[in-house]
Amino acid sequence: MAETTRFAPSPSGYLHLGHAYSALFTARAAAANGGRFLLRIDDIDVERARAEFEAAIFDDLAWLGLSWEQPLRRQSDCAADYALALQRLRERGVTYPCFCTRKEIAAEIARAGAAPHGPNESVYPGTCRGLSAAARDARIAAGEAYALRLDMERALAEAERENGGPLTWHDRGRGRQRCDPRPQGDVVMTRKDVAASYHLAVVVDDAAQDITLVTRGADLFEASHVHRLLQHLLALPVPDYHHHRLLTDENGKRLAKRHDALSIRALREAGHTLEEVIAMTEQPQSS
């Protein structure tokens, strides 16, 4: 089947070897059956996004020999799409306003005795879920800033009831998955300073771009449970997924923006050829 895939970097730093691997993986998945390769600029977090990094993304991808269909999608242009999706979630009664600050949430987790490790480190303890409608209205009327959270238990129960059983999704590497986003708690859908959270934006974008195969690193595997639930709640199509391996540094740590020496830019400037850089993506331990 001809797939539509996308590479969706955030312009908050230079692309590194891990991105190169992901972009090539994604482009190859599209090319395998004469599909489409799209680009998305994930700049929903406008505070961190910078025009120079976006320009560098285009430049580095072209250097890698990749071309993508125009027009590209830029999240910062799509606030109206996210507002519509939020409206729909609100109408379904599966969200609630949360007035907690990051500091308050951290203190609450410490008090609750939850060990802050692993991917669930920042699971929200649910402080604002039980606020009365009157208390919520009063705080909103008083101008208090709030985030909108998904009431995870309620949303999943409702989705499973509508679906007549558990939701599922499919990963090309790991097979059929039963959708269980509950360990991630009441994830944020929007914050006062951002039009949509990562989770909401990605789900809306993938549907808007008609993506049939979502390719990304294994570190986002758990996020796909949340995305599958949102797809149900928003009546959006469900793409296939392929979470690929992560490139690591010599200590086995996942490559991140802090690995400046492994940015494609730095490797280019150091005189590495395209063939050498591609070979490095195939040898995860090389540095």
Q: How far is the CB of 76 from ligand GLU (least distance, A)?
A: 13
- Tokens, residue 201: 């934006």
User: Which one of 8-16, 142-150, 163-171, 266-274 is the stretch in contact with ligand GLU (CB under 6 A)?
Assistant: 8-16
Q: How many residues bind ligand GLU (CB under 6 A)?
A: 7
| CB closer to ligand GLU, 22 vs 95 | 22
User: Taking CA 126 as the corner, what is the angle to CA 124 and CA 128, rounded to the nearest 5 degrees?
Assistant: 120
Site for ligand GLU in 22-61 (CB under 6 A): 42
Count CA atoms within 13 Å of residue 138 on its CB side. Answer: 5
Q: Which is nearer to ligand GLU, 126 or 217 (CB)?
A: 217
- Name the β-bridge partners of 5: 37
Q: Which of 31, 66, 106, 220 binds ligand GLU (CB under 6 A)?
A: 220
User: For the window 78-107, what string marks contact with ligand GLU as x by the rule CB under 6 A?
Assistant: ------------------------------
Query: Which span (7-15, 86-94, 151-159, 170-178) binds ligand GLU, by CB under 6 A?
Result: 7-15
Binding mask 179-208 toward ligand GLU (x if CB under 6 A, else -) reads -----------------------x------
Taking CB under 6 A as the criterion, the residue among 4, 5, 9, 197 binding ligand GLU is 9
152-175 in b/e form (b: 16+ CB < 10 A) is bebbbebbeeeeeeebebebeeee
With b meaning 16 or more CB within 10 Å and e meaning fewer, what string describes 91-126?
eeebbbbbbbeeeebeeebeeeeeeeeeeeeebbbb
Binding positions for ligand GLU, rule: CB under 6 A = 8-10, 42, 202, 216, 220
